[in-house]
Amino acid sequence: MALPNETQRGTSQSLKALLGLRDLVYSGEVAPGERLTEISVSERLGLSRTPVRAALARLGREGILEAIPSGGYAVRTFTAADVHDAIELRGVLEGTAARLAAERGVSCSDIDAFKAIVRRLDTIVGTTPAELDFSAYVSANAQFHDMLAVLSGSKVLQREIEHVLHLPFAGPSAFLNAQTDMPEFRTSLISGQAQHRAIAHAIEMREGARAEAVAREHARLARLNLDVVIRDSALAERVPGLRLVSG
Amino acid sequence: MALPNETQRGTSQSLKALLGLRDLVYSGEVAPGERLTEISVSERLGLSRTPVRAALARLGREGILEAIPSGGYAVRTFTAADVHDAIELRGVLEGTAARLAAERGVSCSDIDAFKAIVRRLDTIVGTTPAELDFSAYVSANAQFHDMLAVLSGSKVLQREIEHVLHLPFAGPSAFLNAQTDMPEFRTSLISGQAQHRAIAHAIEMREGARAEAVAREHARLARLNLDVVIRDSALAERVPGLRLVSG
DNA sequence: GCACTACAGATTGTATACAAGCTCTTGTCA
DNA sequence: TGACAAGAGCTTGTATACAATCTGTAGTGC
């Protein structure tokens, strides 16, 4: 089984172990702080120890699991402060990506593609709340953030941003699905879109400081959303892994 | 073998595989771009495939190796731009650490300990070039940068900084040992130390913006040093893994 | 001469057997 | 009654056998 890239590598069992274990954690099937041994996980997932071992090590380095001194791993619990910090960190890194893109300049075709994503977001956000295509927004939003990392022109930075996005709740759309029916949601959508436009404009105008500042502030929206969600335990249920938070 | 923390885990063979493989790469024993298979590495190191496999996967995620589509890994080659970006990234993250430390405030005992490190660096740098205790400088400098990450008060950021320091040549003392006898070295040491003092002062005075700006600029010293080293191939020999750069 | 197919070799994926050590419990002795 | 020691069980570390498949090459047919 010589399989191509890292995502495909381990078509069957390894991938099953990784996704299965991640799901076990995020779904709350294993309690935060609960101990996970290679054997118990392999029995739960119906796999042998080898792929499970790899998955445990990987999630351990991703930060979702924590190595226990006496052996095995524990589901890590996060405090609200940890989530705040993760979001702040994303803001800093995306701000750097925006600044580098502005400073170093991007090609016409790249900036055009970027602006096309912004326009698509414009039309999605421009509809009435009732007919908002939510999944289209999440998808286009993810594209915007992906492309921002690419525009930085730095593979190193791109890789690091991807790494931070693996941290729980740091993603740009992490808390959105809990809030589709809240009034705050609509306003945060609108101001977020204004920031998207400002970032694209600043990059095009090669205004590095502005691009960085706006991108940083943009991440703060997620912090606001987090605070809203945390205050309302009914909403918290709808965010996949919020069970891991608070400890 | 239920061994405690992550560094100890795998006392014998796993650690041997990790260190051995890392050494194989940094020493230039395997050429940049050369293909590494589990079997060839395990034969070279005299280990079985299992620990080698783990080491390959780990270095792959650290960024030193690169997965080959047809299977196996290749020693990754870095461009000077990659190294520049890695250093820039360290500056951004350490700048954030300094800003957070300033904004959130640090305890008296912490700031005292931090200033003690700065004073130690002062005395080391204050000597004549001839009697400079080089290894003491490297050690105290590492302590300064470690503690800066701790002072941020953010485990998430601390972890991320540690992650970036694993990138080749991103460390704060990466290029120093190539330059002990150069005049540029002395000036960069002196201005670097001025920046250390300024960072500590800014944190104490809770001047977040200043702390961030100085810490960022501080990382730029490493970029200057890199440029000096790269221009002089004789110096490049003395930096362990500079063979990986330029491609 | 070119293209397609089939086979062989190489390489990773997976499972499992065995080794080693840590922890916890239980029993005994002072 | 308390403390220490010994042993059992659990858990991970390591090695290896076997499976699956991908790549490259060679041969044949059109």
Give the model confidence (pLDDT) of A144-200 as tens digits.
999 999 999 999 999 999 999 988 788 888 877 776 677 778 888 999 999 999 999
The DSSP symbol for B66 reads E
Distance from CA of A2 to the nearest CA of B (A): 5
Higher-pLDDT residue of A25, B213? B213
* Domain residue spans of chain A: 4-76, 79-246
Please say if the pLDDT value at position B174 is more than 70.
Answer: yes
- The pLDDT, as a whole number, for residue B3 is 33
Give the distance, in angstroms, between residue B138 CA and nucleotide D2 C1'. Answer: 52
Of the candidates B35, B29, B42, B43, which has an alpha carbon nearest to the alpha carbon of residue B72? B35
The Cα–Cα gap between B100 and B7 comes to 28
8 Å CB contact of B159 and A93: no
Q: Which nucleotide is nearest to A49 if distance is taken from CA to C1'?
A: C15
- The pLDDT, as a whole number, for residue B179 is 67
Least confident of A184-188, B66-70, B242-246: B242-246
- The pLDDT, as a whole number, for residue A92 is 98
Of the candidates B202, B221, B218, which has an alpha carbon nearest to the alpha carbon of residue B210? B202
SS3 A238: coil
The Cα–Cα gap between B241 and B99 comes to 32
Q: What is the pLDDT of residues B201-228, one digit of tens each?
A: 999 999 999 999 999 999 999 988 888 8
Radius of gyration of chain A (CA): 20
The Cα–Cα gap between B145 and B94 comes to 8
Q: Which nucleotide is nearest to B14 if distance is taken from CA to C1'?
A: D13
Please say if the pLDDT value at position B10 is more than 70.
Answer: no
Q: What is the pTM of this model?
A: 0.89
Higher-pLDDT residue of B11, B105? B105
**In the sheet that B35-36 helps form, which strands lie side by side, from edge to edge?**
B35-36, B73-75, B65-67
Give the whole-number percent of chain A exceeding pLDDT 70. 94
Average pLDDT over residues A27-47: 90
B99 chain-A contacts, CB cut-off 8 A: none
pLDDT-based confidence at B2, cuts 50/70/90? very low
- The pLDDT, as a whole number, for residue A246 is 72
- The pLDDT, as a whole number, for residue B8 is 42
Please say if the pLDDT value at position A1 is more than 50.
Answer: no
pLDDT-based confidence at B193, cuts 50/70/90? very high
Contact B103, B157 (CB under 8 A): no
Average pLDDT over residues A210-221: 97
Please say if the pLDDT value at position A5 is more than 60.
Answer: no
8 Å CB contact of B71 and A2: yes
Of the candidates A16, A40, A26, which has an alpha carbon nearest to the alpha carbon of residue A169? A26
**Class of residue B46 by CB neighbours under 10 A (exposed 0-12, middle 13-18, buried 19+):** exposed
Q: Residue B166 corresponds to which tokens in the numbers above?
A: 């694993």
Domain boundaries B79-246, CATH class? mainly alpha
Domain boundaries B4-76, CATH class? mainly alpha
- The pLDDT, as a whole number, for residue A235 is 77
Please say if the pLDDT value at position A213 is more than 80.
Answer: yes
SS3 A75: strand
- The pLDDT, as a whole number, for residue B14 is 87
The DSSP symbol for B48 reads -
Amino acid at A40: S
Higher-pLDDT residue of A177, A6? A177
The Cα–Cα gap between A93 and A78 comes to 21
- The pLDDT, as a whole number, for residue B5 is 36
Give the distance, in angstroms, between residue A75 CA and nucleotide C8 C1'. Answer: 47
pLDDT-based confidence at B166, cuts 50/70/90? confident
Query: Which H or E run contains B208?
Result: helix B208-231
Residues on B contacting A at a C-beta cutoff of 8 Å = 2-6, 9, 54, 57-58, 60-61, 63, 67, 69-72, 81-82, 85-86, 88-89, 92-93, 96, 100, 154-157, 159-160, 163-164, 167
The Cα–Cα gap between B2 and A242 comes to 31
- The pLDDT, as a whole number, for residue A11 is 63
- The pLDDT, as a whole number, for residue A7 is 38
Residues on A contacting B at a C-beta cutoff of 8 Å = 2-6, 9, 54, 57-58, 60-61, 63, 67, 69-72, 81-82, 85-86, 88-89, 92-93, 96, 100, 154-157, 159-160, 163-164, 167
Please say if the pLDDT value at position A8 is more than 80.
Answer: no
Please say if the pLDDT value at position A73 is more than 90.
Answer: yes
Q: Residue A8 corresponds to which tokens in the numbers above?
A: 């495909």
Amino acid at A46: G
- The pLDDT, as a whole number, for residue A2 is 34
- The pLDDT, as a whole number, for residue A95 is 98
Of the candidates A29, A201, A165, which has an alpha carbon nearest to the alpha carbon of residue A86? A165
**Class of residue A220 by CB neighbours under 10 A (exposed 0-12, middle 13-18, buried 19+):** middle
Instruction: From residues 63-82 of A, list those within 7 angstroms of strand C by Cβ.
Output: 69-71
- Average confidence score pLDDT of chain B: 88
Least confident of A79-83, B177-181, B225-229: B177-181
Average pLDDT over residues B117-138: 89
- The pLDDT, as a whole number, for residue B77 is 87
Interface probe for B, chosen from A11, A38, A156, A223 (most Cβ of B below 10 Å), is A156
Higher-pLDDT residue of B217, B63? B217
A155 chain-B contacts, CB cut-off 8 A: 82, 85
Backbone dihedral angles phi then psi of residue A219, each to the nearest 5 degrees: -65, -25
- The pLDDT, as a whole number, for residue A180 is 66
- Average confidence score pLDDT of chain A: 88
Higher-pLDDT residue of A205, A132? A205
